[in-house]
Amino acid sequence: MVNLKFVRAVCSMAMGLALCCAVPVIPVTEAAVLAKDHVVSAEAKDFLNKMSSALAEVGEAAKPSVVNISTTTTVEMGEQPFGDLFDDPAFKKFFGDNFDSLPKKKFKSSALGSGVIVSKDGYILTAYHVAQNAEEIKIILNDKTEFKGRVIGTDPQTDIAVIKIDARDLPAIKMGNSAEARAGDVVLAIGNPFGLNQTITMGIVSAVGRANIGISDYEDFIQTDAAINPGNSGGALVNTNGELIGINTAIFSTSGGSMGVGFAIPSNLANTVAQSIIKQGKVIRGWLGITIQDLSPDLAKSFGIKQDKGALVTDVMKNSPAEKAGLKRGDLIVELDGKPVENSVKLRNTVAGKAPGSTVRVKVVREGKPMALPVTIGEFPAAKPARKGELKKSEFDNALKGVSVQDITPELREGLSIPDEVKGVIVVNVSDEGPARDTLTKGDVIQEVNRRAITGLRDYESVVSKIGPSDSVLLLVYRNGAYIYVTLKR
């Protein structure tokens, strides 16, 4: 409604301008002559008509497979008769936090999304955030038939969910190969934006392999400029064959509406996750047991690596498939089963798609020498380490100037959830004027300095005191449950 009003306002303004301006009146005969000079050629009309017809045909083929999803969730909130007054620090100073224990009020919250039928017997693929915490799910098909849906399984790490309805002979969409998608390919996005059923928008594939966006843990998005709006989540992104190549999941927007930057989960990834949920009851991922990071020019120089692509191993977990195969910290993984490894994201996604128990051949560069190691893939463990908290002093005239560290006490280890095997010194402060201000942060554990192991403050002071004022420094840091290499320059 807001958009319609806006359009009407624009139209009215345009008419007002036309009335206010002195517009010359062109005689009918002269207008006819001018019109003849701008005739659309038969070839152009034929081309546009064929393109229009082709796109409509693609849309008609895919539309029956896209459904409207309506969810209902119970939300519980504390009743606050004084509104935001309870959040005022002055209020809490005098009255305390006892008002947080006021009775809770429950109410129903509804949300709309989209989904895609992927099997004739009622399995529907959608985005996890569409089905998240849903207590009631209503599915509306293209022919307006309604069904009650139930969640079969979800995978927050890829933002995928599988819903089931009790129905037969449904119009399942044809799966496409998302790996074949190229920037520039014409695509259609089909969904239910703002609750408007069966809406189709057209655009192109803007980019493939988008990662490090922060939407989910496993990212390999197809980016498109086809309009995606609230309610489109879980809908279909199809190619010109009417095949599903993506599940629409998110947009980049400063207004809440489409700005031409939308993201879809590739169909290959979405289908793998869905089939694992349907057949196994959970998502099974391959696992090597390493932490990795991208190779930067500074890291390559510090390690003496000539390659400019690959995934740098920052840690090898005990008793993991990688440790059993002989992988070591500092190895650069450049190939997996003969295919080049461009970066850490590609490696992680590729390994996750491997079946546990299968053997892969990993090519690494170790201290400048290439070697190949056979590794038996394990199953990704469900547990995920976490750390929370923040917390004395060490000063040197080099790249670590302004970085204050201390030994890891039992209290700090417990409070920051630092595993027993992690040794080193913990960063307690980083000066805003120091070289490390944008690289290190409170709670980081420095485990190595220039490839020298650090077990405590004494080791740290011994190594760092020998670093010159203009020397660059390579650090191995434990942060947020992961190991990363960072470089510092004065």
Catalytic residues: 129, 159, 233
- Give the integer Cα–Cα distance in Å for 207 and 256: 21
* DSSP 3-state of 295: coil
- Residue 222 in tokens: 């197809």
* DSSP 3-state of 208: strand
- CA dist list (Å): 463 to 301, 398, 453, 466, 473: 20, 12, 9, 6, 11
Backbone φ and ψ of 382, nearest 5°: -75, -35
**Under 8 Å CB-to-CB from 104, ≥6 apart: which residues?**
76, 77, 78, 79
- Give the integer Cα–Cα distance in Å for 39 and 37: 6
- Give the integer Cα–Cα distance in Å for 401 and 407: 18
Q: Which helix (H) or strand (E) holds 404?
A: strand 403-407
The residues that bridge with 150 in the sheet, in sequence order, are 164
- Report the length, in residues, of the chain: 490
What secondary structure letter does DSSP report for 26? P
Asked if 107 and 74 touch (Cβ cutoff 8 Å), the reply is: yes
Q: Report angle CA 310, 314, 317 to the nearest 5 degrees.
A: 120
- Give the integer Cα–Cα distance in Å for 362 and 341: 10
- Give the integer Cα–Cα distance in Å for 475 and 312: 14
Asked if 425 and 456 touch (Cβ cutoff 8 Å), the reply is: yes
Backbone φ and ψ of 412, nearest 5°: -65, -40
CA-based nearest residue to 467, from 484, 446, 452, 447: 452
* DSSP 3-state of 484: strand
